[in-house]
Amino acid sequence: MAVRTAQSKEAGRVPLPLTSRTDRWWIKPLLTVIVLGFFALYGMFRAFENQYFEFGPYLAPFYSPHLPIHLNLFGWNVSPAIYILIFPLSFRLTCYYYRLAYYRAFFWDPPACAIAEPAKRKNYTGERRFPLILQNIHRYAFYAAVVIFLILAYDTVRSFFWDDGFHVGLGSVIFVVNIIPLAMYTFSCHSFRHLIGGKVNCYSCTLASRTRYGIWKQVSFLNARHSLYAWVSLFSVLIADLYVRFVAAGAIQDFRFF
Ligand code: FES
């Protein structure tokens, strides 16, 4: 049960979030701030870096697809990663799970269950008005994410084919390991679950509705673990991108199994 002290109200200051909880409830939001904050900084760095994104058949996920677009703004070569990033970023930013995570960790809205918010927000309209109404683009961001996923899956297959033939390098293995949680994350999305199982009045009436029901049950199974896939896929993308960056920059050598 959340409580606030009378003194903090009298002092007229923003009261600290007070609670009768005695566990370390603050660890989760703190970790969220650290991990998401780091990922945001890394994403920005990579988006602007505009180099070290390709080595042999390896293409860094942040720079995929390899678009033949070369924008030049006032002498500055705009990195293609900036306009590629818009799609996966809008998918992750509007994801129902990530909303929960960053509303709690960054906005303290509230920071955890049974913890008071730091201050009452005036004119709070939730996600019904600008800017948070933009969260509703999630279903469309999902379609873009599926396209990006298919491109990354193609990159994964392509990573085995070098100029001198078929090889298995550590980079290809990392790409394969990356694509699995990415698939789990993309296809455990709430929007996909609704797309598969929503707007059906009778699941047993036709072959099509029975098929949809079968797929919906599988998606629901994945959906229950959506938060896990959200975190694992975040790290797997990061590791795949870092690996290509280091190999392309010559900082490490690609280990070839055969
Ligand atoms: Fe998380 Fe759709 S709800 S990706």
| CA separation for the pair 41, 105 (Å, rounded) | 17
Q: Best substitution site from 102, 219, 226 to test ligand 1's pocket, by max atoms within 8 Å of Cβ? A: 226
Ligand 1 atom nearest the C-alpha of 189 is 2
pLDDT tens, 63-93? 999 887 778 888 888 888 998 999 999 999 9
pLDDT tens, 18-63? 788 889 999 999 999 999 999 999 999 999 999 999 999 999 999 9
Report CA(33)–ligand 1 centroid distance (Å).
Answer: 19
| CA separation for the pair 160, 153 (Å, rounded) | 12
Q: How confident is the model at residue 3 (pLDDT cuts 50, 70, 90)?
A: very low
Average pLDDT over residues 167-189: 98
Q: Best substitution site from 139, 140, 188, 233 to test ligand 1's pocket, by max atoms within 8 Å of Cβ? A: 188
Q: Give ligand 1 pocket residues (Cβ under 6 A).
A: 91, 95-97, 138, 142, 189-191, 226
Contact 194, 220 (CB under 8 A): no
Count of CA atoms in the C-beta half-sphere (13 A) of 70: 2
Ligand 1 atom nearest the C-alpha of 190 is 3
Higher pLDDT, 11 or 65: 65
Ligand 1 atom nearest the C-alpha of 226 is 1
| CA separation for the pair 170, 253 (Å, rounded) | 10
Report CA(114)–ligand 1 centroid distance (Å).
Answer: 25
The reported pTM is 0.89
Q: Identify the burial level of 171 via C-beta atoms within 10 angstroms of its C-beta, where 0-12 means exposed, 13-18 middle and 19 or more buried.
A: buried
Q: Calculate ∠ Cα 249-231-238, nearest 5°.
A: 5
